[in-house]
Amino acid sequence: ESQTLATITFQNLFRLYLKLAGMTGTAKTEEDEFRKIYGLDVVVVPTHKPMIRVDHPDVIYKVAEHKFRGIASEILRLYAKQQPVLVGTRSIEMSEKVSGRLTPDRLQVLCMVSLIRSRMETAKLDKDTRDKWTAILNQNLDELTLGRLSPMIRELELPADPLSEYNLRAICELMELPPEEETLDHLDEALRHGVPHNVLNAKYHEKEAVIIAEAGRKGAVTIATNMAGRGVDILLGGKPEVEREPVAVSTASGSDGTEEGDEEREE
């Protein structure tokens, strides 16, 4: 027990097998890795029925800050429609950063920045003012406040309250959402209280399996690292026979070494 006789990596261990094969829905994206490490080819099995999913092209951002804004904006747009959202991230740090952008103050600033940019396209501003405002709007969203945006809001004659009906309808128009009462109510709720969501980081396997299985419920937002919830099917609409309250999985540790938010409630 106290002496190591030999060590081997998983990659070399697998290569000792005479036959090595497997099936997974995510192998195609790692095709180069399978070929370089294991000498394996990746073959895509065609679907039995015609593919109905629309694969949109990737959206490329030159600046990480704009990427996080785009993610938060898309989550807000889909939540207003009550469409389930599953966000996959590469690390715990990334998942927590995305989660931090879904608070009410960050979302309100994000929406007002979008409205200001939209109004600036048609406003008559001199070049110095336009450049100055653009520099402010391009700053990290965590550093911006409604107070810093107020001079632009007044100059562009926008309502100062992000939750005003005018602003909510303008945001719906920018996000190409139907200005229906239900959509406006969900948008107002998200801007007042933040977007309710679960953050998963592959630490709490049993709880994460439950949350992932219910991630298809109407309006559910789940932010996960790519390793969280592996092997769990997501049923659109959730399990009809089970009514569950959202389960919050926190990554913060308490003073006694236990995990905060480490509770699950079921009806």
List, as one string, the DSSP characters of 222-263: EEEETTTTTT-PPPTT--TT--B--------B-TTSPBTT--
**For residue 256, is pLDDT > 50?**
no
Cα–Cα distance list, 220 to 28, 56, 199, 238 (Å): 28, 22, 12, 10
CB 136 within 8 A of CB 144: yes
Residue 120 pLDDT class (50, 70, 90 cuts):
very high
Question: 188-225, pLDDT tens digit by residue?
Answer: 999 999 999 998 876 666 777 778 888 889 999 999 88
Mean pLDDT (the chain) is 84
Question: ∠ at Cα 120 (118, 126), nearest 5°?
Answer: 170
Cα separation of 246 and 141, whole Å?
27
Of 185 and 92, the one with more pLDDT: 185
Average pLDDT, stretch 140-148?
Answer: 91
Alpha helices in the chain, H assignment, sequence order: 10-15, 31-33, 64-80, 92-100, 104-120, 127-137, 146-155, 165-174, 181-193, 205-213
Residue 108 pLDDT class (50, 70, 90 cuts):
very high
Cα separation of 115 and 118, whole Å?
5
For residue 89, the cross-strand partners are 225
CA-closest candidate to residue 152, choices 188, 119, 127:
119
CB 22 within 8 A of CB 16: no
The predicted pLDDT at position 204 comes to 67
Q: DSSP letter for 266, please.
A: B
The predicted pLDDT at position 27 comes to 85
Average pLDDT, stretch 172-199?
Answer: 92
Of 236 and 136, the one with more pLDDT: 136
